[in-house]
Every structure is written in C-alpha cells, then in structure tokens.
Structure 1
C-alpha cells in the first residue's frame, strides 16, 4: 500500500494519458503517438524512478496544465450564455487541469529530498 502511495502521481498521470490515448483511438479513430510515448515514459518512470525524467515530466505537465486552464476558460466563453453544459465543461475541465498540476507538483516534491 505504501508503494502505491509513493507512485500515486505517476499512476494518476498514467491513467490520464491512457484515457487520452484510448479516447483518440476509439473515439475518433486516430492513433495518437504522442499519448503513447507519454504512457511509455510514465511506465518507465514507475519502474525506474529516475529523478531527471521526473523533473522533466513535471515541468512539461505543469506548463501543459496551465495552458489547458486557458483553453477551458476560452471554450467556456464561447458559450452564448451560462448553461448547465457550460458549467459542466468548466468544472470538469478545471478539475482535470488541477489534477494534472497537482500531480506534477507532487512528482517534484517526491524527488526533491533526493536531490540535495
């Protein structure tokens, strides 16, 4: 159980990237090679726990999640009025962005003591 908690950020990110890949594959019939590479890097990270890969992943995911916050807000403003669909888009989108950003934060936090 303790091992699962120590790799929780990687497991969460792996789950999101797997969802991303499968949604592209089955939803729009598109082979998303970028999502597949992210999944493979996360699997590598789970097994080998490399701090340099962790910091790189955390930085990229943090930047991506901040970008996605702006994308969600932009999509929200495209609705002509505030409807239940607009609020659902905003709440679910911001929840996923928060999960991504917090995972990147905990990924850095986990490897920070080993650096010094």
Structure 2
C-alpha cells in the first residue's frame, strides 16, 4: 500500500496529462504534444524512478501550478464584479492548482530524500 501511495504524484500528473490530451483531441481535434510528453515522462518515472528526473519534474510542475494560479487570478478580473460564476471559477481554479503545487512539492521532497540508486523509490535517507 505504501508503495502505491508513494507513486500518487506520478499517477496524478499522468491522469492530468491524459485528461488534457483527451480534451484537446475531442474539442480542438488537435494532438497536444506537450500533454503526451508529460504522460511519457511520468510513465517513465513510474517505471524507472530516477531521482534527477523526479526532482526536475516536481519543481517544474510546482512552478507551473503557481503560474496557473496567477493566470486564474488574472482571468477572474475579467468577470464582472460580484459575479458568482467568477467567484466559483476562482475558488475551483485556486484549489485545484494549489493541490497540484502541493503534489509537485511532494515529488520534490520524495526524490530529495531518495538515495542515488536506481529503483529506490521507497528507500529514503533516515536521520
């Protein structure tokens, strides 16, 4: 159970990338290569559990989530003042991207504690 719980960040971002690719394919009839790249990297990370890649992806996804929080606030300003749809949009967007940022930060912590050996997803340095 603990092994699957440690894989939650990678599974979360793989599912998010899959939804993103599917949505672009059905709505715009276009292939989203960035979403496919995220899916491929996360699947690779689930299989091989590389420390450097995990740290880099966790940091990038955390920063991207904070960027999207700022974008949500910017989009909220386009709504008329006092509009309930705008408030609902802001709360959902900020909640979702804050959750994504926390999960990305969890990846950084997880791989920051990991020893530098291949396949050591559940091994951590104890103090």
Alignment size in residue pairs? 116
Matched with 2:61 is 61
Question: In structure 2, what is the Cα distance between the partners aligned to 1:28 and 1:67?
Answer: 24
- 1:15 paired with 2:15, answer yes
Unpaired runs of at least 5, structure 2: 116-124
> Counting helix residues as a fraction of each chain, which structure ranks higher?
1
| Residues 68 and 97, structure 1, Cα contact 8 Å, conserved in 2 | yes
Unpaired runs of at least 5, structure 1: none
Question: TM-score, length-normalised on structure 2?
Answer: 0.85
Question: In structure 1, what is the Cα distance between the partners aligned to 2:5 and 2:31?
Answer: 31
Structure 1 stretches of 4+ moved >6 Å: none
- 1:93 paired with 2:90, answer no
Q: CA RMSD in A?
A: 1.3
From the CA coordinates, give the structure whose radius of gyration is larger.
2
Deviation, 1:4, is 1.2
| Residues 55 and 112, structure 2, Cα contact 8 Å, conserved in 1 | no
